[in-house]
A and B are shown apart, each in its own frame.
Chain A
Amino acid sequence: MNKDVCRIKGSRRGLVITISAGADFAEVLRQLQEKLSAAEGFFAGAEVKLAFEDGQFSKEQVDALAELISAFGMSLDRAQPVTRYSPAPSVGEAYKEAEPAAGEETLLVRRTLRSGQKIHYDGNIVVMGDVNPGAEVACTGDIVVLGSLRGVAHAGIADRVDAMVFAFRLEPTQLRIAHYISRSPDEKQPQPLGPEVARVVDNMIQISPYTHWGS
């Protein structure tokens, strides 16, 4: 029996099928079929996301996976082709402090998230684009948006109060960190001038201009 090349993982918000790095596609299909039939009916009606540990599969291959998934009464959420990047194993002694906590991974989203699109992830999320109103980003770690954050962001969902949310333009509809929730003021605010970061300080979500971590 080959090693596990695909894992089905349920989070609060849905199912994610993770495909291992360097997996043989035929083997992925076979294992997925096996796992889904073992759980026949259990996942029916669920919306499934795919996560690839290295690169992406071709459109045909994703199609084949989608077909298999729908054969078991589930649907594939294609709006979110995601690529996973594992943290580099070692960054050298000097940077030891900056290393992510063990097991914490970062999801790189290289697109703009538009209304109705959601990303949930066990780890950190970096969005290279905007998060528009009506879009939602949630993860157990930090959220970094290299663009405008106008939607809903929830960092530290497993009640990690030290999580933070960073954006070039931080104008979210709602910000959540761990169990704290804050919303944007009802009155129009002057636009932020530069990158900002939100963190929990004194039991409140506080937004401050981003200054270098070292300072």
Chain B
Amino acid sequence: MGKVIVITSGKGGVGKTTTTANLGHGLAALGRKVCLVDADIGLRNLDVVLGLENRIVYHLLDVVEGNCTVSKALIRDKQHGENLVLLAAAQTREKDAVNPDQMRDLMKVLRKEYDYVLVDCPAGIEQGFRNAVAGADQAILVTTPEVSAVRDADRIVGLLEATELHDPQVIINRIRPDMVRRGDMLDISDVDDFLRIPILGIVPDDESIIVSTNRGEPVVNDQRSRSGQAYRNICRRLEGQEVSFMDLQGENFMQRLLRRIRVGAANR
């Protein structure tokens, strides 16, 4: 029996979809069978981030409404094939076209086949959120070190308490060590002091994320990227391994410069 994990945040634009795509690729690379579900009906983009947009024939609603079988609707990844599949969201419908019971039934089917089912939750706390958390065993919150994102994450933790989903974990995304050092950005302990839930990972802000997102190739596959490293670490933690957090502060000027040069060379 696999685990159903919902990836949620409350606030939009903090990196839920990017996180879902990267964890999916990372877990598949560790040899797991992974199914990604885009629950953002009407505003789908997990398919784009994975570079699978042009392969969508059937979507989540087709499955829920019985227009096709589950296996027919699952899109195989370019790189991982059978081990990483996507159930795309419908783009032409709205969030209320599905209800939590239908999602729960769908998760029951998917978790039999896959080790991990990762659900990409839409922003907000309305119907789309309620659908996405239905049938999940575990929740991962994504937040950025901004006051508004952390507030929304706090609201989500409160809402999750009211469901069967207890003990969510948080990923702090897009942290900029230089800004933290200058005192211009919330640091890890600020976020931790506020939310008081376990931290699953810390992902540094990284321009290569934007490049990879636009290309449809998750950064987790890029061995040189620091954010890719952060995602690989998160995947290993999900697998139950003890992985210490990356030292974001320790990087000095020379190391930064060297990295820039290396990244620059790789992009050429």
> Residues on A close to B: CB < 8 A?
78-79, 111-117, 130, 132-135
Contact = CB atoms under 8 A, between A and B. Distances in A.
Contact of B154 (A78, A79, A132): A132
A79 B161 contact: yes
B196 A115 contact: no
Nearest to A169: B193
Q: Max chain A CB contacts within 10 Å: which of B151, B152, B157, B158? A: B158
B162 A114 contact: no
Contacts of A115: 151-152, 154-155, 158
A117 B151 contact: no
A133 B151 contact: yes
Contacts of A134: 151, 154-155
Given A114-B158, A134-B154, A134-B155, 5 more contacts: A79-B162, A114-B154, A114-B161, A116-B158, A133-B154
Contacts of A132: 154, 194
Nearest to A111: B161
Contacts of B194: 132
Contacts of A114: 154-155, 157-158, 161
Contacts of A117: 158
**B contact residues, range:** 10 to 19
Contacts of B152: 115
Nearest to A147: B196
Interface in B197-249: none
A116 B162 contact: no
- B contact patch SS: helix
B196 A79 contact: no
A78 B162 contact: yes
A212 to B, nearest CB: 28
Nearest to A115: B155
Nearest to A129: B196
Nearest to B164: A59
A149 B100 CA distance: 35
Contacts of B157: 114
A79 B151 CA distance: 17
B167 to A, nearest CB: 13
Nearest to A59: B164
Nearest to A112: B196
A135 B159 CA distance: 12
13 contacts: A79-B158, A114-B155, A114-B157, A114-B161, A115-B152, A115-B155, A115-B158, A116-B158, A116-B159, A117-B158, A132-B154, A133-B154, A134-B154
A10 B159 CA distance: 24
B112 to A, nearest CB: 26
Contacts of B154: 114-115, 132-134
Interface in B144-176: 151-152, 154-155, 157-159, 161-162
A95 to B, nearest CB: 35
Nearest to A117: B158
Given A115-B151, A115-B155, A130 B196 contact: yes
Contacts of A116: 155, 158-159
Contacts of B159: 79, 116
A100 B158 CA distance: 32
A135 B151 CA distance: 10
